[in-house]
Structure 1
Amino acid sequence: MTGGSDLLLERMTRLHPKIIDLTLARVERLCAALGHPERRLPPVVHVAGTNGKGSTQAMIRAGLEASGASVHAYTSPHLARFHERIRVAGELISEDELMAVLDRCMAANGEAPITFFEITTAAAFLAFSETAADWTLLEVGLGGRLDATNVVEPRLCVVTPVDLDHQQYLGDTLGRIAGEKAGILKRGVPVVVARQHPEALEVIEARAARLGAPVLAEGQHWHCGVEDGRLVFRDERGLLDLPLPNLAGPHQIVNAGAALAAMRELGLDADACEAGVTTAEWPARMQRLRGMLAEVMGPGELWLDGGHNPAAGEAIAATLKAMPPARTHLVCGMLNTKDVAGFMRPLAGVAERLWAVSIPGEANTLPAGETARHARGAGLVADEADGVREAIAAAVGMGAHRVLICGSLYLAGHVLRSGA
């Protein structure tokens, strides 16, 4: 059923001809018209990066909440409902509260051009500024320097791994993309830096030096890895010997390290740090599905991941390699703006076959036939399917014991909305 907020959100998409148009001018204007809610937030942890932002933020939130703190959190995009983006003092924003802040933002903005992300970010700031909490966690939407969230003065910045993605907006080299991500750094504000390509790290450290921002970088100021089946984190404060993260995949070790470095900087004790990595939940990141679609699998395993760039393809491949051996098929749908071949290339060695689908209701979906063509070019055996359910059934019919649905957060959202 469509709610009032859904209709308002639909109207907001018509306020600017472009979905993405990077600048801070419009959101600064709207925040001023709203009385600057971005200046009245609880202390902010600002998270940028290409991959792992959501997982890292989820672990930080779990740790803060385990310590007894009340936490606002802003993430994007949503999977099933828009409300997922705005968590007010630990709870998803209510329909009534979302309607109220959206109405106020629409009234303050009038007919001035503003993108959907900008006006909804201002709505989140408004909701956060009017409810007491101890912390605010903000995930960058795209880039960092000109992202709508970058109008705050944070207590801590976090930069997760930087890789190639959104090159049409952020630049075509790791250095340029890292420069955009590092745009969230502020003078004198500490920054936790996860494992990076040398080119990206050089850019981040150079900006931090110009701003006098203390750097807490993996490999220099802290170390995180797996030893004897345990997560071991070391920094100048000492050692943490913890269970492995709740979130699946080797790449979550990198995310857990960044989250732990952030939690230590925020003063959390060992118990809260352990809760951060062992209780965090983040949908569509190597998520095991057990609903109606899983019934099509019978005794097999059904997994879901929203990763969509080459680094995500490598992370998925590493995760599948680390699992017990099983005949594995992929169900894949992607957007036409992504590096499809780059995403698929690492997967050729871990899956028997790929079933290509179009993403329902998504204007920028890559047609299933094109996805299959790219898959074959990357070395995968590929066929087309009319939909996700049909693809799973076909995979099971060919003996698959593990199926992973992947390629896009938009496809993941469709799957979760369908009651997977």
Structure 2
Amino acid sequence: MINGLERYKKKWNITTENAIKPGLAAITAALEEIGNPHKQGRFVHIAGTNGKGSTAALLSAVLRAHGKTVGSFYSPGIIDVHDQIQMNGEPVTRQALDHVMCELSKVTTALTDFELLTAAAFLQFRNAAPDVSIIEAGMGGRFDSTNVIDPQVAIIPSIAKEHTNFLGTELKDIAYHKAGIIKKWKPVIAGPLENEALQVVKEEARQQHAELIIPNSPYEGELKLKGAHQKWNASLAYHAAMEVLGAEFNEAAAHQALAQAEIAYRFETAAPGLIFDGAHNEASIHALVETIQADFPDEQVRIVLGMLRDKDYEKVLRKLETISDNFVFIDFSNERALPAEKLFRLSNSKIKTIKNLYDILPVTADEEVTIVTGSLYLLSDMRKPGIPFLSEYLNVSD
């Protein structure tokens, strides 16, 4: 489910399938009907298990610091469909999205929701003509609907086990999908990958005659973003900007942009004592736990957790239980959401409750920090109209 997309489908009488159907045939045919907007402009393509959104946002910040206009396509959104398509860091307007949806209403090829949104992004970027468009793959890469572009550079921040029902159960299988975004003669920048995945990426780069760039170390400058993993994401963004900008690249501008960048749901302080983090699989939860231990070594931690049923939720829960024995399990509105009761039954924590998303969370004591995590869709729901203002969760005033 893509929050807010239904409004446009109803307005413009667009019928789609709310399903995941990897493959490029439908999106290619649909884009052909509207003049192949994906063949216009310059692109950066990002695929990986974790770090895609952060790397995209960091790269956007660096490019804009060099005076470039930047389009960005994210998956999923922060609040709804509008922030999945951005221009210079700002969500697409309803007027602009209406314009592209009107054009897409004439397409006869049957599409899924995500294929429709991908096509909308390409149309918006054709209309707005940014200097660079950064495209985040939705799932996998090779057969993801975004993989119709010929990017100037590809980025693979990380590879871990995810979506095994679609991508395969072995790391090399998943790497095969991620490496599918590598294009002939175009460089690819990769983060610190496990050897099994790295060998797949190396072989794909060799077959495509693509230069493989692997930074030797994480970014060493200052960041507002918390966590060692963000240092690696910043390093990838820095190297990607060098490739995109060439002789225009300015080190000072890049460092300043990275130092000032803030990204929603990446260890974000939503209110005093309340942290939002979009970690949703074993690898990203591991990074979250390390960041919590580094930033809150002496505080009591309460975990508010809601997850999708197709994630490895038991491993995530066990990892989080190493730093807390106080959990609130949340039901939220997504057809893939795991019932909070399931997490409750699996949990070994001493203190555990189930809450509906629309209930006000328990007040946090001064010496306690609350971490809301498990799904970007949960965090998006928490910022929908009708949810109590965030400070009310902590009973603090502005």
Give the structure-1-normalised TM-score.
Answer: 0.86
Alignment of 1:330-409 (within 5 A): 330-359=303-332, 361-376=333-348, 380-388=349-357, 392-393=361-362, 396=364, 401-409=368-376
Amino acid at match of 1:414: D
Q: Which residue is 1:158 aligned to? A: 155
Q: Shift of the alpha carbon at 1:92?
A: 2.2
Q: What 5-or-longer segments of structure 2 have no aligned partner?
A: 391-398
Contact 1:329 1:400 in 2 (8 A): no
Amino acid at match of 2:268: Q
Contact 1:313 1:344 in 2 (8 A): no
Q: Shift of the alpha carbon at 1:107?
A: 1.2
Contact 2:172 2:197 in 1 (8 A): yes
- With over 3 angstroms needed to count, the CA separation of the structure-2 counterparts of 1:61 and 1:204, relative to structure 1, is same
Percent sequence identity over aligned pairs? 29
Counterparts of 1:73 and 1:318, CA distance in 2:
29
SS of 1:28's equivalent in the other structure is: helix
Q: Which residue is 1:239 aligned to? A: none
Counterparts of 2:125 and 2:66, CA distance in 1:
20
Q: What 5-or-longer segments of structure 1 have no aligned partner?
A: 225-230, 233-241, 295-300
- With over 3 angstroms needed to count, the CA separation of the structure-2 counterparts of 1:90 and 1:410, relative to structure 1, is closer
Counterparts of 1:363 and 1:5, CA distance in 2:
15
Counterparts of 1:5 and 1:198, CA distance in 2:
40
SS of 2:140's equivalent in the other structure is: coil
Q: Which residue is 1:237 aligned to? A: none
Give the root-mean-square deviation of aligned CA atoms. Answer: 2.2
Q: Shift of the alpha carbon at 1:212?
A: 0.5
Amino acid at match of 2:236: A
SS of 1:357's equivalent in the other structure is: strand
Q: Deviations over 1:256-292 (max 9, x none)?
A: 12112212223321122213321222211111012xx
Contact 1:12 1:116 in 2 (8 A): no
Q: Deviations over 1:22-58 (max 9, x none)?
A: 01000000000001101112x1111110000000010
Which residue of the other structure, out of 242, 251, 265, is the alignment partner of 1:264?
A: 242
Amino acid at match of 2:25: A
Q: Which residue is 1:329 aligned to? A: 302
SS of 1:337's equivalent in the other structure is: coil
Q: Shift of the alpha carbon at 1:382?
A: 4.8
Which residue of the other structure, out of 260, 273, 289, is the alignment partner of 1:279?
A: 260
SS of 2:166's equivalent in the other structure is: helix
Contact 1:13 1:115 in 2 (8 A): no
Q: Which residue is 1:415 aligned to? A: 382
Amino acid at match of 2:339: P
Counterparts of 1:64 and 1:337, CA distance in 2:
35
Alignment of 1:154-233 (within 5 A): 154-218=151-215, 222-224=216-218, 231-232=219-220
Contact 2:69 2:131 in 1 (8 A): yes
Contact 2:13 2:105 in 1 (8 A): no
Contact 1:327 1:352 in 2 (8 A): no
Which residue of the other structure, out of 142, 166, 169, is the alignment partner of 1:145?
A: 142
Counterparts of 2:28 and 2:76, CA distance in 1:
21
Amino acid at match of 1:251: H
- With over 3 angstroms needed to count, the CA separation of the structure-2 counterparts of 1:320 and 1:184, relative to structure 1, is same
- With over 3 angstroms needed to count, the CA separation of the structure-2 counterparts of 1:96 and 1:14, relative to structure 1, is closer
SS of 2:279's equivalent in the other structure is: coil
Counterparts of 2:159 and 2:13, CA distance in 1:
29
Counterparts of 1:33 and 1:106, CA distance in 2:
11
- Runs of 4+ that moved beyond 6 A: 11-14
SS of 2:147's equivalent in the other structure is: coil
Structure 1 range deviating more: 114-123 or 367-376: 367-376
- With over 3 angstroms needed to count, the CA separation of the structure-2 counterparts of 1:314 and 1:106, relative to structure 1, is same
Q: Deviations over 1:315-365 (max 9, x none)?
A: 110010111320111011111111101212222221231111211x22222
Check if 1:118 corresponds to 2:115: yes
- With over 3 angstroms needed to count, the CA separation of the structure-2 counterparts of 1:277 and 1:17, relative to structure 1, is same
Amino acid at match of 2:362: A
Q: Which residue is 1:289 aligned to? A: 270
Q: Which residue is 1:297 aligned to? A: none
Contact 1:313 1:342 in 2 (8 A): no
SS of 2:107's equivalent in the other structure is: helix
Contact 1:334 1:408 in 2 (8 A): yes
Contact 2:328 2:355 in 1 (8 A): no
Counterparts of 1:61 and 1:416, CA distance in 2:
24
Number of aligned residues = 381
Q: Shift of the alpha carbon at 1:13?
A: 11
Counterparts of 1:195 and 1:4, CA distance in 2:
36
Q: Which residue is 1:22 aligned to? A: 22
Q: Shift of the alpha carbon at 1:20?
A: 0.5
Q: Which residue is 2:286 aligned to? A: 314
Alignment of 1:239-250 (within 5 A): 242-243=221-222, 245-250=223-228
Q: Deviations over 1:186-230 (max 9, x none)?
A: 011000001111111110011000111000013xxx322xxxxxx
Give the structure-2-normalised TM-score.
Answer: 0.90
Counterparts of 1:381 and 1:276, CA distance in 2:
43
Counterparts of 2:118 and 2:311, CA distance in 1:
24
- With over 3 angstroms needed to count, the CA separation of the structure-2 counterparts of 1:95 and 1:344, relative to structure 1, is same
SS of 2:138's equivalent in the other structure is: coil
Q: Which residue is 1:228 aligned to? A: none
Amino acid at match of 2:226: A
Counterparts of 1:169 and 1:12, CA distance in 2:
31
- With over 3 angstroms needed to count, the CA separation of the structure-2 counterparts of 1:365 and 1:4, relative to structure 1, is closer
